[in-house]
Structure 1
Amino acid sequence: MNSIRTRLLVSLVLTLLLAALVLGGITYRNALQEAEGLFDYQLRQMALSLRDQGEIAPDQANAFADAGLDFVVQIWTVDGRAIYSTRAHAALPARAVLGFADVAVQGQTWRTFSVAARDRVIQVAQPRQIRERLAAGAALRSVLPLLLMLPLLAVVMSWLVAVTLRPLRQVSQQVTERGAEALSPLPAEGLPDEVAPLVGSLNALLQRLSAAFDAQRAFVADAAHELRSPLTALKLQVQMLRRAADPADRAAATEALAQGVERASRLVEQLLTLARNEPGARQAPLQPVDLAEAVRQALADAGPLAAERGTTLALEAAGPVQVQGDAIALAALARNLADNAVRYAPPGARVLAQVANEGDAAVLTVDDSGPGIPSAERERVFDRFWRREATAASTAGTGLGMAIVKSVAERHGAQVSLGDSPLGGLRVTVRFPRAA
């Protein structure tokens, strides 16, 4: 029973049934008590109304007896002589007890009321069984309308539940009828207070999905555009290699082809790295990682390029610096920072990486002695495929390095800032929350 409507309806019907049983029981009991009091009142009034009646002749004592009456009236003289009885009965009480009393005669219980008046004793009696049957009938008639109303109330409750849950059903129908590309917000006007937060959350989710799909489409378009150039260059270099006649031209074409393949491979690798660290991608769980060791490995990977350009790489780390993160992603962040510093700094430059604990944060700082970036353009370096100028370094780059740095930092809850380096170039600072 997973339906909210069914659960609500069953709960309401059971509550109604329980309430009807309780109210019916109370009403039945009260009706019995009221009927009992009414019958006692009738006994008393009947006995009192006979006090002032005249003498009845002995030969006429049973002349007016009526066997159809429920009540039995008996009158005795003070010396115990019976002078009147409404009907002959073998089990009638033979003596009177003044006031109300329950008298058992031959296995049958009588409810009696007796009163002494002048020279006679008047007793009015009624069988207890008849009283109870009449009282039960009266009580049942008072409860019967409530029992008859139960089915009608159940139908009304079912209708009310359906009407109340109609907005929720309409929202469900609107979501079901939507296509995969329909990410516009759901109508939120006139919704109940209980449904409005759900629709608001769905609209927020649709907005995030729309933004994610837009970013994905833009990323795919940019990636296709960026891949077109190196693939076109590779095709041209293959053609040049085929046309090369002498060994020198063939060697030059082969070298150019190898460099083109390397650039294309690096671009694909950067695209995969960025895709792995995008929000919503399946990612490895974060665990304690030594940030200093991740930076040391990244500098080792950048060592061949630095040696080729005559750039000095240095790392300053007093000891292990623990952060909560993904070791592979952190290595990619540090490798891109080192690679950018080496590529954009002139040959023979210096690149210094520092890892240290500062209060509740672990800080990675990368300084270089290159040309730096003007303050007005520093925010743009985090855009995908953005290159500052058409230099040899920017042509060889992919334009994704700082986008990867930003994506990895956001995944780890870190903050990235750009500033002026004491070495004369650019300083990149990444501030991580320390691992517990």
Structure 2
Amino acid sequence: MRKLLSTLRGRLFALLAALGAVTALAVAGATYVSVRAEADQLFDYQLRQTALSLRDQGRIAPDEAASLADPSLDYVVQIWSVQGLELYSSRPQGMTEPLPPRAVLGFSHQRLGGQDWRVFSAATPLRVVQVAQPLAVRQKLAAVAALRSVVPVAVALPLVAAAVWWLIGVSLAPLARVTQAAQAGGANALDALPTDGLPGEVAPLVEAFNGLLARLAAAFDAQRGFVADAAHELRSPLTALKLQLGLLRGAAPGEEQDTAIARLNGGISRAAHLVEQLLALARAEPGAPAADLPLDLSELARQAVADVQPLADKAGVTIALTAPDPLPLEGDPQALRGALRNLVDNAVKYGARTVQVSALRGPQGARLLRVDDDGPGIPPDARERVFDRFQRGEDVSAVEGSGLGLAIVRAAAARQGAHVQLGTAPLGGLRAEIRWPG
């Protein structure tokens, strides 16, 4: 029973069966009471008609007297003269005393010989007619009639229960198909579940689950692509490190060995930077734990500029900061600081001489982190493509990088509820902007 109630079909059937049982009992009870009342009225009608028919007769014929004297007849008929003389009496077996000669006209109850009787009396100027019936007999006959009327309800109840069980099964058949489809797939199956024929209450649940499966499929595809791209990108620097290590082993002490060591150190630095960028991208991807902390975009812009300032000074690049007012926000300070640092770092590396960093309020209360430069910029048709992983600009032969900077920026901004867009800066180069809606 517990296993049955653990299923949706079992719960629905139990609830409907309980409701049906209560309804059937109520209907049966009401029917029983109603039929008993109608039977009592019918018996009263028979008593009255019998008394009235005998009252209107001048005398009782012998054959009629014989039928009234039948011991199997439940009725008792007694006729009295107005002087109290008994003119006729049919007394069944077990009746020890006659009806009283002083009758109450109409219906009444009498207690005779230890029994309760229902009596109807009618009078004429010459005589009084009384017809009586034991209440026990009336009640028994009424109960039998009432029970017979309840039998169809009792017979129909299990049939209705079987029909309800079948109908619930038919109604849940689409859900069973969804279950079978979910069980039929393998461990890596993320195909959408069928939604045809589902009830309106269940369809949103399955559609939401399909949405979850779609997001999981997209996340797994992105993860597989990320691993494949990362393996491909790591293969080259690791191979270069092995070659440089071999050259170092074969280099003679002196200038040649120093050059090999410098190359090996540069290769290690590039590999370490690539690994750091991969870790930063993994932290910025959807699904990674996010920190929602109070922060100030203006202060965050100052910190990011301070991080890149040594590289800018070495490259002879001027960085100007505009952050006049505090811009409070809730988000991940580390992720946003890294994203802005990547934007400024890209501007410095890719040939800009002047970089303008701004933290300000835009139209309709939007909050902005903006980086403008006077570098070569990015052609409009390539601006969306540079957000892909390991995608770099066209002329990158003189610039070291992993092609992950803008991918990290977009992922970090998306997790903070912001949007990244590229455009043309007033300085003539590239404008990169992180925008939060107002």
- Deviation (angstroms), 1:184: 2.6
The residue number in structure 1 matching 2:377 is 372
Q: In 1, Cα distance between the equivalents of 2:424 and 2:126?
A: 130
Aligned pairs for 1:6-405 (under 5 A) are 6-55=10-59, 65-87=69-91, 89-95=95-101, 96-105=103-112, 107-117=114-124, 119-281=126-288, 283-345=289-351, 349-358=353-362, 359-394=364-399, 396-405=400-409
Range with greater deviation from structure 2 (83-92 or 266-275): 83-92
- Deviation (angstroms), 1:94: 1.1
Q: In 1, Cα distance between the equivalents of 2:15 and 2:326?
A: 61
Q: Deviations over 1:219-276 (max 9, x none)?
A: 2111111111111111111111111103111111111111111111111111111111
Q: In 2, Cα distance between the equivalents of 1:3 and 1:393?
A: 67
8 Å Cα contact 2:301/2:323 also seen in 1: no
- Deviation (angstroms), 1:18: 1.0
- Deviation (angstroms), 1:149: 2.3
8 Å Cα contact 1:222/1:385 also seen in 2: yes
Identity of aligned residues (%): 54
- Deviation (angstroms), 1:431: 1.5
Closer, same or farther: CA 52–371 of 1 in aligned 2, 3 Å: closer
Range with greater deviation from structure 2 (328-337 or 165-174): 165-174
Equivalent position amino acid for 1:381 in 2: V
Counting matched residue pairs gives 429
Closer, same or farther: CA 241–69 of 1 in aligned 2, 3 Å: same
- Deviation (angstroms), 1:93: 2.1
Q: Deviations over 1:394-422 (max 9, x none)?
A: 3x111111111111111122222222223
- Deviation (angstroms), 1:206: 2.7
Q: In 2, Cα distance between the equivalents of 1:342 and 1:198?
A: 50
Partner secondary structure for residue 355 of structure 2? strand
TM normalised by structure 2 equals 0.91
User: What 5-or-longer segments of structure 2 have no aligned partner?
Assistant: none
8 Å Cα contact 1:56/1:83 also seen in 2: no
Partner secondary structure for residue 204 of structure 2? helix
Q: In 2, Cα distance between the equivalents of 1:2 and 1:245?
A: 79
TM normalised by structure 1 equals 0.91
- Deviation (angstroms), 1:64: 7.3
User: What 5-or-longer segments of structure 1 have no aligned partner?
Assistant: none
Partner secondary structure for residue 128 of structure 2? strand
Q: Deviations over 1:136-188 (max 9, x none)?
A: 11111111221232222222222221222121122112102211222233333
Range with greater deviation from structure 2 (335-344 or 100-109): 100-109
Q: In 1, Cα distance between the equivalents of 2:66 and 2:370?
A: 125
Range with greater deviation from structure 2 (243-252 or 48-57): 48-57
Structural RMSD (CA): 2.4
Closer, same or farther: CA 83–214 of 1 in aligned 2, 3 Å: same
Q: In 2, Cα distance between the equivalents of 1:52 and 1:299?
A: 124
Partner secondary structure for residue 55 of structure 2? coil
8 Å Cα contact 1:414/1:430 also seen in 2: yes
8 Å Cα contact 1:167/1:195 also seen in 2: no
